């Protein structure tokens, strides 16, 4: 027997074989198919609800199964669903300027959804995005109209107002994050309570210390031209502004932060399994405060963008009015 060691080639283990994707775009397909299925399911459920609201059902059960009654109910259901979804399509994409309005409405939702998702990654349920949005809107409006900053050039004034709004949202979210880290207070309760504080505090500020004395209804003065987010198109019917680009940029930055940095790795680890994270030497409290503050920063940025890019003034419960109209 030769004393020479024989070299053997390592064979792939079963786990390595199973973890190798058969189709390299499998992850992308999953991420695309699941939202599409969610939208399809929402449309189906919506169609059922609309049908139940539009159909006039027979007075007796015996008449329910008559051919003429079934045909009438089917026709009413089809007409009702068709009218509703045609209006949904026209309002979202079908008319001139509707795509612009859809994207305008989507900007705060993108940033707010990103804020909630970041909290989820850290194992936190940030139900206080609304309050953090209002906090950001208040500070951005104050920085936008205050005479102390009105002489600043737009290259300084606009970033200052955006940064101030984002930091205000982060500061508002820092409170429940610190309470959770120090006392164990659940963030769902504290953030919901702070939502009410932020909304009613905004009402008070708009009606009293920040109110424009010359306005017929409660609102702040209009922000200076240098603090306005520019629009993407010169045509007046298109209100789409640079906030859309900020929302896309924020999405890229948060992805990089979560999956390409040590901070992001710690936040995800704490969110996935705090016991393992603590065993590995990670601070649960510190990462909870960081995740909540970053989540609030995105929500505050959403409020600032809404004021600087669309409203140009702050009114009480402005975000609710935006959806009602």
Q: Cα–Cα distance between 20 and 6 in angstroms, integer?
A: 29
- Residue 116 burial (CB count, 10 A): 18
**Which whole number is the average pLDDT over 132-148?**
97
Confidence band, pLDDT 50/70/90 cuts, at residue 136: very high
pLDDT band at 322; cut points 50, 70, 90: low
| DSSP 8-state code for residue 21 | -
Of 63 and 214, the structure prediction assigns the larger pLDDT to: 214
pLDDT at 34: 86
Tell me how far apart the alpha carbons of residues 273 and 187 are, in angstroms, rounded to a whole number.
18
User: What pLDDT digit, counting tens, does each position of 258-316 carry?
Assistant: 999 999 999 999 999 999 999 999 999 999 999 999 999 999 999 999 999 999 999 98
Contacts of 131 (CB under 8 A, 6+ apart): 172, 191, 194, 195, 196, 197, 198, 199
pLDDT digits (tens, 9 = 90+) for 73-88: 889 999 999 999 999 9
Distance CA 233, CA 241 (A): 8
For the whole model, what pTM was predicted?
Answer: 0.85
User: Is residue 224's pLDDT more than 80?
Assistant: yes
β-pair partners for 241: 231
Residue 4: its pLDDT value, please?
52
At 40, the pLDDT band (50, 70, 90 cuts) reads very high
Kindly state the tokens that stand for 28: 């992308």
């Amino acid at each position: 027997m030769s004393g020479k060691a024989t070299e053997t080639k390592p064979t792939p283990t079963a786990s390595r074989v199973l973890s190798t994707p058969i189709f390299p775009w499998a992850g992308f397909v999953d991420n695309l198919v699941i939202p599409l299925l969610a939208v399809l399911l929402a449309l189906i459920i919506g169609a059922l609800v609309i049908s139940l609201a539009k159909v006039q059902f027979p007075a007796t059960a015996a008449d329910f199964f008559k051919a003429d009654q079934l045909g009438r109910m089917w026709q009413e259901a089809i007409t009702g669903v068709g009218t509703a979804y045609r209006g949904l399509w026209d309002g979202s994409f079908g008319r001139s300027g509707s795509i612009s309005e859809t994207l305008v409405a989507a900007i705060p939702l993108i940033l707010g959804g990103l804020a909630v998702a970041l909290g989820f990654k850290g194992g936190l349920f940030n139900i206080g995005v609304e309050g953090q949005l209002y906090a950001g809107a208040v500070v951005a409006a104050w920085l936008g109209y205050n005479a102390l900053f009105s002489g600043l050039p737009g290259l300084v004034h606009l970033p200052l107002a955006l940064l101030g709004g984002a930091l205000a949202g982060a500061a508002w979210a820092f409170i429940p994050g610190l309470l959770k880290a120090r006392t164990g207070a659940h963030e769902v309760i504290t953030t919901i309570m702070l939502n009410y504080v932020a909304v009613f505090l905004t009402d008070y500020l708009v009606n009293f210390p920040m109110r424009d004395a010359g306005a017929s209804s409660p609102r702040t003065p209009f922000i200076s031209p240098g603090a306005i987010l520019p629009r993407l198109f010169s045509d007046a019917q298109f209100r789409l502004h640079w906030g859309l680009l900020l929302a896309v940029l924020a999405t890229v930055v948060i992805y990089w932060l979560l999956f390409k940095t040590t901070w992001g790795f710690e936040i995800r680890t704490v969110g996935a399994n705090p016991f393992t994270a603590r065993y590995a030497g990670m601070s649960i409290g510190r990462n909870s405060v960081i995740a909540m503050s970053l989540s609030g920063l995105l929500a505050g940025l959403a409020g600032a963008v809404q004021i600087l890019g669309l409203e140009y003034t702050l009114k009480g419960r402005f975000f609710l009015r935006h959806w009602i109209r």
